[in-house]
């Protein structure tokens, strides 16, 4: 199990921990954006740095840190200051997201030699109310909405059939960055499909 960052805010500081708990309560009860902004600005960069120290690259660490803070916004009512400090709670969420990311590493990548980009939804339980053409149209739309740094790599991987190493060689982008950007692209596509009702949550 990963150790909590000993420098995490709120650790061993009762007054500060109480202030974090108060801000979380404002988020939970009133959806207070100012309180959330204060929490985000303080915790997100610290969580991101902690994840990088654990071995994640910058893009992965940023993605998970943002997911953690979104979880705080959505599920602030679940935080119980009597059970743990806010930093411990957030770092535990980050740890779980990191484990999920490691598991996805084993399954997320489709063979670059395959035209499977238009069948990505087949990885999950596909809603049969969508025919193939509808699904293809949705995937194409989602692909065009990817950030430029991800879109270019997806095009190289699936439309030109390049491997990760070939993409890194052609673009001059480090191999680890190529992999992380493609992972982020897959995550974005999968979430877009779920939001469109094409892929059911697993």
In a domain, 139, yes or no: yes
pLDDT in tens, 31-74: 999 999 999 999 999 999 999 888 888 888 888 898 899 899 99
Among 74, 105, 136, the domain-final residue is 105
pLDDT in tens, 93-136: 998 888 777 655 543 444 434 444 444 444 443 444 445 556 66
Task: Give dist(CA 39, CA 43) in Å, integer.
Answer: 6
The b-or-e profile of 96-128 (16+ CB within 10 A means b, else e) is: ebbeebeeeeeebebebeeeebbebbebeebbe
Among 105, 134, 162, the domain-final residue is 105
Q: For the domain that residue 35 is a member of, what is the CATH number?
A: 1.10.1740.10
Please indicate, yes or no, whether the overall pTM of this predicted structure exceeds 0.75: no
| pLDDT of amino acid 124 | 40
Domain of residue 37, residue span: 14-105
In a domain, 182, yes or no: yes
In a domain, 20, yes or no: yes
The b-or-e profile of 173-185 (16+ CB within 10 A means b, else e) is: eeeebbbbbbbbb
For residue 157, count other CB atoms closer than 10 A to its CB: 23
Of 91 and 158, which is predicted with more confidence? 91
| pLDDT of amino acid 148 | 81
In a domain, 9, yes or no: no
Burial class for 186, CB neighbours closer than 10 Å (0-12, 13-18, 19+): buried
Confidence of residue 13 (pLDDT cuts 50, 70, 90): low
| pLDDT of amino acid 102 | 64
| pLDDT of amino acid 92 | 92
147 with 185, same domain: the answer is: yes
129 with 178, same domain: the answer is: yes
**Alpha-helical segments (H) within the chain:** 14-30, 33-53, 58-75, 86-105, 132-144, 148-154, 164-171, 175-196
Instruction: Evaluate if residue 10 carries a pLDDT over 50.
Output: no
- Is the CB of residue 105 less than 8 Å from the CB of residue 18? no
Task: Give dist(CA 23, CA 124) in Å, integer.
Answer: 38
In a domain, 131, yes or no: yes
Of 80 and 130, which is predicted with more confidence? 80
3-class DSSP state for residue 99? helix
DSSP state of 118: G
| pLDDT of amino acid 171 | 87
Task: Give dist(CA 54, CA 186) in Å, integer.
Answer: 23
| pLDDT of amino acid 47 | 94
| pLDDT of amino acid 103 | 56
Among 105, 128, 159, the domain-final residue is 105
pLDDT in tens, 140-179: 777 778 888 888 888 787 666 778 888 888 888 888 888 8
């Amino acid at each position: 199990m990963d150790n909590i960052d000993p420098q995490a805010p709120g650790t061993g500081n009762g007054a500060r921990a109480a202030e974090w708990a108060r801000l979380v309560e404002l988020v939970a009860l009133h959806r207070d954006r100012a309180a959330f902004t204060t929490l985000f600005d303080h915790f997100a960069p610290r969580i991101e740095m902690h994840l990088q120290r654990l071995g994640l690259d910058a893009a992965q660490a940023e993605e998970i840190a943002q997911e953690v803070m979104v979880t705080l916004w959505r599920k602030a009512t679940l935080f119980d200051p009597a059970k743990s400090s806010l930093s411990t709670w957030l770092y535990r969420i980050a740890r779980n997201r990191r484990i999920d990311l490691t598991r996805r590493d084993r399954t997320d990548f489709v063979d670059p030699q395959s035209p499977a980009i238009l069948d990505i939804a087949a990885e999950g339980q596909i809603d049969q109310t969508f025919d193939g053409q509808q699904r293809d149209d949705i995937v194409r739309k989602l692909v065009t909405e990817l950030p430029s740094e991800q879109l270019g790599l997806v095009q190289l991987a699936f439309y030109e059939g390049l491997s990760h190493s070939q993409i890194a060689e052609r673009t001059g982008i480090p191999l680890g960055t190529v992999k992380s950007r493609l992972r982020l692209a897959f995550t974005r596509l999968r979430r877009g499909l779920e939001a469109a009702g094409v892929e059911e949550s697993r």
